[in-house]
Each structure stands twice: as C-alpha cells, then as structure tokens.
C-alpha cells in the first residue's frame, strides 16, 4: 500500500494525512441565478439615460456579432472552454449538535467561491450571457446554506466533485446533490460505526457504500495530496496530452482562507484517451477486471498544493515512481 503522505525531494514539508479538517472561515456562495428581466431592463435604461454609476458600461456590446460576444465572454471566463473542472466540497461538523445523524453536513469549500467568480458573473449579467454559460454548464449542484440556497453550475459529464473526507454511514448529503454526481474524487472515507478510515487501496472495501450514496456515479478517483516547494514552473511533457489538468487559485481577500493558495489537479483523461490510462503506471486502486465487475472507472487523481508557485510537475504516469512528487522540474 502506498503511503498517504507525499514529500517533494526538494525539501518541501510533508502533507497532512487529511485526518484533521483544516479550520477555514466559511463563506456563503452567492446564488448564481441570473437577474430578473425587469431588473435587467431597468439597468439598461440607466445606461441609456447616462446614469453616472454606469458610465463605464458598454451598451453597444449587444450589437456585436454573436461569435465575437461569445469569444469575449470566453476570454473573460476561461471555464467556458468546457474543459473538465474540479469542485471541492467539505465535511462540516456541528459540535453543538449531539445527535450524530444531524451533526454533519456538506459545505461548499471556500476555493469554489474564487474559482466560480467569473462564471457567476456571466450567468448573472443578462439573458445572452446566461444562455452561453448554460450551454456549457447545464447542470447544477444545490445546497441549503442557512437562510440561502447555494447553486453551483457545472457539467456533470466532465466536472469532478472532490471531497477530502467522506462519511459512509451517515446520510448527510442531500439526495438532489448526490444524484447529480457522476465523477467523484475522495481522499479518505470514514466509517463512524466501525471507527475505521479507508484510503488508497482500502477504499475498495467501501465501494458499495459510495455507490449507494451516489447512485449515478461513473468514475471514482482516489485523491493523493502532494505538497511541493515553490519556485517551479510546469514543464511540457509529451504525456501531458493524455491527462486532465485543472488549476485552482484563491485569494485571501475573497475567501477568508488566510492566504493566497494555488492547487493543480491532474488525472487521466478517460474520455479523449481511454486506452492511454491502461498503460499508465500511476498508482491504481484495483485491476481492470475489478472495474468491469463493479461497473465503475476507478483511477488516481493527484492534487499538488503550493502557496505561490506552480508545482515541479513530478507526476510522470509512465514512471515506476508515479504518485510521488519530484524535486525538480526536469524529472
């Protein structure tokens, strides 16, 4: 079994084993539904009437050709390219509640607030921009956040829902959320009744429980956290075309996490290059025969964590050392 801690050989500190949830300031995600039509019309009227608050507006934007408008929106919001994303959700524990069934809930990770900022703006500007975004992200993940209902737009066929901790024997995930998840990444699974924690290859023991929680699940990724030293930039490697990459950058002033962060997720591209994943030597959780028997694609996802730089890009899926960070970008 592989160790759950991965160190960079350049002296980076080891990653926490994930058994303790890091305290973070929780912020409510703004509902990304578009404005009502009457609000849009009044806003456009203010622009035409020369309202000082809207002098920086560009009312002629809608007169541009549709292709140009879409290109501008894609430049403003790169996620509109349709590439797979990773959306993180966290396990929230309510210490004041004694009932075990009500003590846990699912919360939106503060990183989602930063990474969806531009997309939420596209959804809320006007009907034209909303239609463009809705074509790319037709699905929604909904959570009750106190007095508000938070909605995260996504594309369930491609986007991966990521959870560092998952409890298998407590029903705390809303059914309308769970049924939307087709791609899931998990670092560890807890069974409170048996007081067990499953990770790496042992996650295979709780696959039936995971499938029961997410009935439409098609792909499961075992999440490996890799802490890397700063000062490196990603180098082009021929094998990168066979994997998905998604970078998440957050800023303290927006999330309240306490610092700016940057993470890079890497996982096999099972849609464009399904055959390539079969000869990658990256850590696998089970055999191909077991995948067919379970009716589930089970692979590895790496999450490189750094403070202010890109990782050394040490995951070579063809190497025998796959799954462990390298201390040099030349690896």
**Which tens digits make up the pLDDT trace of 143-154?**
877 667 889 999
Structure tokens at 10: 């350049």
- Confidence band (pLDDT; 50, 70, 90) for 327? very low
Helix (H, G, I), strand (E, B) or coil at 298: strand
DSSP 173-220: S-HHHHTT--EEEEEEEEETTTTEEEEGGGGGGGHHHHHHHSTT--EE
**Contact yes or no for 226/8 (Cβ under 8 A):** yes
Provide the pLDDT for residue 72.
92
Q: Mind listing the pLDDT tens digit for each residue in 216-230?
A: 999 999 999 887 765
| Length, in residues, of the chain | 331
Q: Which of 168, 175, 170, 223 minimizes the C-alpha distance to 197?
A: 168
Provide the pLDDT for residue 287.
79
Provide the pLDDT for residue 27.
34
The conformational region for residue 150 under phi > 0 = left, psi -120 to 50 = alpha, else beta, is beta
**Cα three-residue angle 143-146-149, rounded to 5 degrees:** 40
pTM for this predicted structure: 0.74
* CA end-to-end span of the chain: 24
What single DSSP character describes residue 232?
A: B
Provide the pLDDT for residue 149.
81
Q: Mind listing the pLDDT tens digit for each residue in 227-279?
A: 776 554 555 566 778 889 999 887 766 555 556 778 889 898 888 887 777 66
Listed range (46-60, 204-218, 240-254) with the worst mean pLDDT = 46-60
25 or 275: which leads in pLDDT: 275
Helix axes 127-136, 117-125, angle to 10 degrees: 130
Taking residue 273's Cβ as centre, other Cβ atoms within 10 Å add up to 16
Domain boundaries, the chain: 85-115+155-306
Structure tokens at 150: 């938070």
DSSP 241-265: GGEEEEEEEE-HHHH-SSS-EEEEE
> Rounded distance, CA 47 to CA 149, Å?
31
């Amino acid at each position: 079994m592989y160790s759950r801690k991965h160190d960079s050989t350049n002296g980076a500190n080891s990653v926490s084993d994930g058994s303790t949830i890091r305290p973070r300031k929780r912020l409510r995600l703004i509902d990304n539904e578009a404005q009502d039509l009457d609000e849009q019309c009044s806003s456009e009227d203010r622009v035409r009437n020369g309202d000082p608050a809207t002098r920086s507006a560009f009312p002629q934007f809608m007169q541009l050709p549709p292709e140009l408008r879409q290109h501008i929106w894609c430049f403003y919001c790169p996620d509109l390219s349709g590439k797979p994303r990773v959306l993180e959700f966290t396990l929230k524990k309510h210490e004041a509640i004694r009932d075990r069934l009500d003590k846990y809930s699912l919360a939106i990770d503060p990183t989602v607030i930063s990474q969806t900022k531009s997309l939420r703006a596209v959804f809320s500007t006007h009907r034209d921009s909303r239609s463009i975004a809705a074509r790319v992200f037709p699905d929604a993940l909904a959570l009750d956040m106190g007095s508000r209902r938070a909605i995260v737009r996504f594309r369930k066929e491609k986007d991966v829902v990521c959870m560092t901790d998952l409890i298998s024997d407590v029903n705390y995930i809303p059914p309308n959320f769970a049924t939307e998840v087709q791609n899931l990444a998990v670092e560890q699974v807890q069974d409170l009744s048996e007081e067990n924690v499953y990770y790496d290859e042992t996650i295979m023991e709780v696959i039936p429980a995971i499938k029961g929680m997410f009935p439409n699940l098609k792909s499961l990724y075992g999440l490996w956290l890799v802490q890397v030293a700063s000062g490196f930039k990603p180098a082009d490697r021929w094998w990168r075309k066979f994997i998905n990459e998604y970078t998440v950058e957050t800023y303290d002033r927006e999330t309240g996490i306490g610092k700016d962060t940057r993470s890079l997720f890497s996982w096999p591209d099972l849609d464009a290059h399904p055959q390539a994943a079969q000869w990658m030597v990256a850590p696998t959780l089970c055999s191909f025969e077991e995948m067919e028997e379970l009716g589930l694609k089970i692979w590895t996802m790496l999450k490189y964590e750094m403070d202010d730089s890109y990782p050394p890009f040490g995951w070579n899926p063809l190497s025998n050392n796959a799954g462990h960070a390298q201390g040099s970008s030349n690896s």
